[in-house]
Amino acid sequence: MEIKKILEEKILFFDGAMGTMLQRAGLKRGEIPEILNIEDKDKIINIHKKYIEAGANIITTNTFGANELKLEDIKYSVEEIIDAAVKNAKKASENRDTLVALDIGPIGELLEPMGTLKFEKAYNVFKRQVIQGVKSGADVILIETMADLYEVKAAVLAAKENSKLPVFCTMTFEKDRRTFTGCSILSMIMTLEGLGVDALGVNCSLGPVELEPIVSEILEFSSIPVMVQPNAGLPKMVNGETVYEISKEEFSSIEKRMAEKGARILGGCCGTDDTFIKKVVEEVSKVKPISKNSSKICGVCTPTNPVIIDGVKVIGERINPTGKKLFKEALKNNDIDYIVKQALSQIDAGADILDVNVGLPEINEAEMMIKVVKELQSVIDIPLQIDSNDKNVIEKALRIYNGKAIVNSVNGEEKVLNSILPIVKKYGASVIGLTLDEKGIPLKAEDRFKVAKKIVNKCLEYGISKEDIIIDCLTLTVSAQQKEVVETLKALNMVKNRLKVKTVLGVSNVSFGLPNRELLNSTFLAMALRDGLDLPIVNPNKSEIMNTIYSFKVLNNEDVGGEDYIKLYSNLKPKKDSAIRNVKAIDNKDSNKVSNEETSEDLIKIIIKGIKDKSAIITKELLKNNSELKIVNEYLIPALDIVGKKYEKGDIFLPQLIQSAETVKKAFEVIKEKLILENKDQISRGKIILATVKGDIHDIGKNIVKTVLENYGFTIIDLGKDVPKEEVVKAAKEHNVKLIGLSALMTTTVKSMEETIEALNENNIDCKVFVGGAVLNEDYAEMIKADYYAKDAKEAVEIAEKILC
Ligand code: THG
């Protein structure tokens, strides 16, 4: 039976951990599990068989790390490994109706802009896996243990574009209900549902106890089947071995509760074995599957900032060259900085979403759109609205957009609908439909309503749901078409109440050619809001506009208790979404000519905002009148401290932390250049050795710590990954360091960490050791006799400052 059909009626059982079973079967530290698909087939087949015996409907191939970047140094190709792995699973399920899921884990490197891996490169890595998986006969594609929404998008596109198989996708969340790169549950749901996966959910991360509230939130908002594969509780170290704290009885009773709440696909991750799955199947089979709510979230998002359209949300109009000489110049001169500034100032003024239009006849719009979207998404954290008439531009922008965007726009013309809607559907965007067609803009409200209805029906035909349709009844200019302004509002009211979709209007159009435009704009805005306008496209930097919106929200019972209103108008800022950086915008000054007075304060702001290009320019200016050390101590370090505090408070997330760190790096580069020119010693706050220990090839965490420590002014001696203890000892002696950081991602390699620390002690190396990595915690660190445990890069900095400064 087709999986989609099965899911409508049944609860599906996946298997449990492969790694746990392999370790018990004697997998050695540092051994690459995927190689066993070829070199020890029987071991793998036996594990699969155990899970089938236990009652799993779907077993997962032993291919978690089978990608070309992780398997670089081994003698088998990705294709050979995947082929063997799928065949092993198929062999185990011979004569049974068990299905085989091709397992795809994270690549193990950070994507741009956080890291260096390009989106299209990631796509190609996943594509190779998918193509082989299909060839070898997999039945399902399982994308799992993902922490970065952008990487997930690359993987899902690779799966959908190179196979017809069902795609299941799970991410790993931490207790704060975000992945380690800050992705929120709602953003995951909106983005993955948009991309058309068949099931979504959570795996690994934590035990079932800690996952329960996360699963409940996913169940509340997901309109597609929800999948859960928890660890067997949290890991503990007992006699040098990793054990998980939860019994199969407790595990299965919590999974049963999840099933009762609506979870449809259940299995296990780290620490679970066939006895867990057997118990789960026993318990959960008693549950009658409940049918899920099918209503989707109405909203758009970036990974860290989901914007739900459940009331008025402001779309900023200013990234648009129409009628703006300076903006046109900026586009022609490739001055992306200018555009970023327009974005920041609109966010500071209260925009929730930004319209992005970079169309100019004399430039390549597609190239510019990609550049601007990427740059904006690396600095700001609100969703974007892709504004273009060109299908190619829209498609390219949607492909590289991280999250769920709005497309501005389609209209009632058949050929426009038929060319743009498939793209909107494929990439899972929301879409604005303008109420005009081949015959132009209808004058009467009833006729605009008819066009709106046609657009809505066409969207539904293409599989775009009502929640993703936004209708624009078109603002006309009152100076030229006075009678039609009320027709717009009448049509808006009809659309809102009869078609039950969201509405948008370009408000500023109303006042072209008249004096005191803001007065007309804000009065028209108030009228439109009253008629049900959800998404005004406005200039948020005009106080009349934002005043109208804030006051409307109180009067319309949206701003409950007038909380935001009171904060704002008693001279406090309103409580904005936490992810937005609440620093005042940088003024429109020519970035190359800045006076010393301006630069001092601005450098800190620039770092907090993460504007890389400007940081070098301003540092150069500052160096004319300030010592290198003064700049480091009075600007760079304090700015990083502010950023660090925001990160700790959860006001910003890893992407922004790294962005700010990179901004400091640019400043450091300028300072170092000058020091080298003057033949002075390099500024360093101290040397630190970093290494991922023997047997572990995951260095993503170590690399993040390295970047951040470097940007705090420390000199890093990076020994790389899979580093033997002897090499750490040797480097420690040679460089005479006072601090060493060790990283391990896998439970199996924590032992190596302990041995490395022992070796340092035996050799009487006088230095402190801090440790970090996904499976570590305070207790582990103590047990293996590390001096410090660093939860994240920020804590590593605090340790370094304590020891070295
Ligand atoms: N519906 C939808 N999209 C739209 C519109 C709409 N996008 C474009 C436009 N209308 C909304 N955006 C703008 C942007 C700028 C101005 C008006 C609407 C504007 N510009 C000034 C001018 O042209 O004189 C320049 C202002 C300045 O220099 O800052 O007024 O209706 N879906």
Choose one of 314, 315, 318, 324 to mutate for the ligand 1 pocket test, by most ligand atoms within 8 angstroms of C-beta. 324
Q: How many other C-beta atoms lie within 10 A of the C-beta of residue 374?
A: 17
Q: What are phi and psi of 229, to 5 degrees?
A: -135, 85
Alpha carbon nearest to ligand 1 atom 5, residue = 506
Ligand 1 centre to CA of 542 (Å) is 13
For 85-114, what is the mean pLDDT?
Answer: 95
Ligand 1 closest atom vs CA 434: 32
Q: In angstroms, rounded to a whole number, what is the distance separating the alpha carbons of residues 533 and 547?
A: 16
For residue range 750-762, list pLDDT tens digits in order.
Answer: 889 999 999 999 9
Q: How far does residue 579's CA lie from ligand 1's centre (Å)?
A: 27
Tens of pLDDT, residue by residue over 395-407, are: 999 999 999 999 9
- Return contacts of 332-337, CB within 8 angstroms, 24+ apart: 332/360, 332/362, 332/363, 336/371, 336/372, 336/375, 336/613, 337/591, 337/611, 337/613, 337/614
Question: 360 alpha carbon to ligand 1 midpoint, in Å?
Answer: 15
CB-side neighbour CA atoms (13 Å) of 691: 25
Q: What is the mean pLDDT of residues 376-384?
A: 95
User: What tokens does 488 get?
Assistant: 């717009």
Q: 506 forms bridges with which residues in the sheet?
A: 537
CA-320 nearest atom, ligand 1: 14
Ligand 1 center from residue 361 Cα (angstroms): 18
Average pLDDT over residues 410-414: 98
| Tally of helices (H runs) and strands (E runs) in the chain | 31, 25
Number of alpha carbons in the 13 Å side-chain half-sphere of residue 373: 30
Tokens 């009502």 -> residue: 466
- Residue 532 CA to ligand 1 centre (angstroms): 21
Q: What's the CA gap between 294 and 262, in Å, rounded?
A: 12
Average pLDDT in the chain: 91
- 324 alpha carbon – ligand 1 mean position (Å): 10
Residue 42 CA to residue 59 CA, distance in Å, equals: 16
The answer to whether 204 is a known ligand-binding residue is yes
Residue with the nearest Cα to atom 4 of ligand 1? 506
Is 536 near ligand 1, meaning CB less than 6 Å away? no
Ligand 1 pocket check for 52: Cβ under 6 Å: no
For the ranges 154-163, 341-350, 584-593, the lowest mean pLDDT is seen at 584-593
Work out the pLDDT band at 680, boundaries 50, 70, 90: low
Pocket-testing residue among 315, 322, 326, 488, ligand 1, by greatest number of atoms within 8 A of Cβ = 322
Q: Separation of 122 CA from ligand 1 center, angstroms?
A: 37
Percent over 70 (pLDDT), the chain: 95
What CA–CA distance (Å, rounded) separates 108 from 89?
Answer: 24
Q: In whole angstroms, what is the distance from residue 552 CA to residue 529 CA?
A: 8
Say if ligand 1 is within 6 A of residue 223 CB: no
In short, whether 198's Cβ falls inside 6 Å of ligand 1 is no
Cβ 506 under 6 angstroms from ligand 1? yes
- 270 marked among binding-site residues: yes
Residue nearest to atom 31 of ligand 1 (CA): 506
The residues near 108 (Cβ < 8 Å, ≥ 6 apart) are 65, 67, 69, 70, 697, 698, 700
Instruction: Give mean pLDDT, residues 234-245.
Output: 80
Provide the pLDDT for residue 577.
43
Which of 55, 558, 6, 533 shows the shortest CA–CA distance to 268?
Answer: 55
Least Cα distance to 693 among 619, 620, 755 occurs for 755
Spatial distance between the Cα atoms of 612 and 231, rounded to a whole number of angstroms = 40
What would the 3-class secondary structure string for 638-687 be? Answer: HHHHHHHHHHHHCCCCHHHHHHHHHHHHHHHHHHHHHHHHCCCCCCCCCE
Give the single-character DSSP code of 290.
Answer: P
Q: Six-digit token pair at 716?
A: 């890093």
- Give the mean model confidence (pLDDT) for residues 676-696: 81
* Residue 749 clears pLDDT 50, i.e. is over it: yes
Report whether 245 contacts 236 (CB < 8 A). Answer: yes
**Atom 3 of ligand 1, nearest CA residue:** 506
Give the span between the Cα atoms of 104 and 162, in whole angstroms. 14
Q: Cα(470)–Cα(212) distance, rounded to whole angstroms?
A: 34
Please indicate whether residue 456, judged by its CB atom, sits closer than 6 Å to ligand 1.
Answer: no
Return the best residue to mutate from 411, 451, 508 for the ligand 1 pocket (most ligand atoms within 8 A of CB): 508
Q: Which atom of ligand 1 sits closest to the CA of residue 511?
A: 30
For residues 470 and 718, give the distance between their C-alpha atoms in angstroms, rounded to a whole number. 51
Cα(235)–Cα(255) distance, integer angstroms: 19
Asked whether the predicted pLDDT for residue 599 surpasses 70, the reply is no
Cα distances from 277 to residues 25, 205, 215, 229, 742, in angstroms, run 18, 18, 19, 11, 35
Paired residues of 178 in beta bridges? 184
Count of CB atoms situated within 10 Å of the CB of 483: 9
- Nearest Cα residue to atom 21 of ligand 1: 323
Q: Identify the helix (H) or strand (E) that includes residue 377.
A: helix 365-379
pLDDT on residue 601: 57
- Over residues 144-166, the mean pLDDT reads 98
Substitution site in 537, 541, 542 for ligand 1 pocket (most atoms within 8 Å of beta carbon): 537
Other C-beta atoms lying within 10 Å of the C-beta of residue 112? 15
Helix/strand/coil (H/E/C) assignment for every residue in 112-137: CCCCCECHHHHHHHHHHHHHHHHHHC
Residue whose CA is at the smallest distance from ligand 1 atom 18: 508
CA distance 516 to 504: 23
CB count, 10 Å around CB of 125?
23
Which helix (DSSP H) or strand (DSSP E) does residue 743 occupy?
strand 739-743
Q: Report which protein residue has its CA nearest ligand 1's atom 2.
A: 506
**Would the pLDDT of 646 be above 60?**
yes
pLDDT at 421: 98
Could you read off the pLDDT of 513-547 as tens digits, one per residue? Answer: 999 999 999 999 999 999 999 999 999 999 999 99
| SS3 category, 505 | strand
> What CA–CA distances, in Å, run from 515 to 127, 511, 518, 525?
57, 8, 9, 17
Beta bridge partners of 265: 12, 227
Using one digit for the tens of pLDDT, what is the confidence trace for 54-75? 999 999 999 999 999 999 888 9
Q: Are 413 and 384 in contact (CB under 8 A)?
A: no
Q: How far apart are CA 170 and CA 229, in angstroms?
A: 9
The residue whose two tokens read 């005004």 is 536
Could you tell me which of 112, 119, 142 has the C-alpha nearest to residue 129? 142
Q: Is the CB of 588 under 6 A from ligand 1?
A: no
Run of H or E residues at 602:
helix 596-609
In whole angstroms, how large is the CA radius of gyration of the chain?
28
CA of 391 to the centre of ligand 1 (A): 21
CA atoms 517, 432, 193, 656: torsion sign:
negative
Give nearest CA residue, ligand 1 atom 9: 506
Note the pTM of the prediction, 2 decimals.
0.88
Contacts of 148 by beta carbon, 8 Å cutoff, 6+ apart: 106, 110, 111, 114, 179, 181, 183, 303
Q: How far is the CA of 179 from the centre of ligand 1 (A)?
A: 37
Q: How far is the CA of 319 from the centre of ligand 1 (A)?
A: 9
Q: Tell me the sheet residues that pair with 12.
A: 265
Q: Which atom of ligand 1 is nearest to the CA of 474?
A: 31
Q: What are 565-597's pLDDT values in tens digits?
A: 998 998 755 544 433 333 333 333 333 334 444
Let me know: does 395 contact 360? Beta carbons within 8 Å: no
Q: Which of 339, 313, 311 is nearest to 324 (CA)?
A: 339
Atom from ligand 1 closest to the CA of residue 323: 23
Q: How far is CA 647 from CA 403, 601, 610, 643, 792, in A?
A: 21, 21, 14, 6, 11
Q: How does residue 272 score in pLDDT terms, banded at 50, 70 and 90?
A: very high
- So what's the pLDDT on residue 6? 84
* Strand 299-301 relative to strand 306-308, pairing: antiparallel
The strands making up 12-13's β-sheet, listed across from edge to edge, are: 12-13, 265-266, 226-230, 199-204, 167-171, 140-146, 99-104, 58-60
Residue nearest to atom 27 of ligand 1 (CA): 324
450 CA distance to ligand 1 centroid (A)? 25
Q: What's the gap in Å between 317 CA and the centre of ligand 1?
A: 6
Q: What is the pLDDT, as a whole number, of residue 719?
A: 95
Nearest CA to ligand 1 atom 11: 506
Q: How far apart are CA 668 and CA 643, in angstroms?
A: 17
More confident residue, 681 or 119: 119
Q: Write down the pLDDT at residue 3.
A: 82
- Enclosing H/E stretch for 232: none
Picking from 63, 58, 68, 102, the residue whose alpha carbon sits closest to that of residue 81 is 63
Q: Which of 245-259, 501-515, 742-756 has the lowest mean pLDDT?
A: 742-756
The packing angle between helices 517-530 and 543-555, to 10°, is 20
In the beta sheet, which residues pair with residue 692?
743
CB atoms within 10 A of CB 91: 14
Instruction: Calculate how far, in angstroms, residue 487's C-alpha sits from the geometric centre of ligand 1.
Output: 20
Indicate the SS3 state at residue 243.
Answer: strand
Distance of alpha carbon 504 from alpha carbon 407, whole angstroms: 12
User: Which residue in this structure is represented by tokens 């998002």?
Assistant: 301
**% of the chain exceeding 90 in pLDDT:** 73
> Which residues face 356 on adjacent strands?
319, 386
Is it the case that residue 211 has pLDDT exceeding 90? yes
Q: Which two tokens stand for residue 620?
A: 């150069």
**How crowded is residue 234: how many other Cβ atoms within 10 Å of its Cβ?**
16
For each of the domains in the chain, give its residue range(s) and CATH number, in order of start. 3-284 (3.20.20.330), 311-587 (3.20.20.20), 600-677 (1.10.1240.10), 687-804 (3.40.50.280)
Q: Which residue has the tokens 């071991």?
A: 43
Mean pLDDT of 665-684: 76
Does the pLDDT of residue 158 top 70, yes or no? yes
- Residue 574: predicted pLDDT: 53
**Ligand 1 centre from 165 Cα, in Å?**
44
**Is the Cβ atom of 517 under 6 angstroms away from ligand 1?**
no
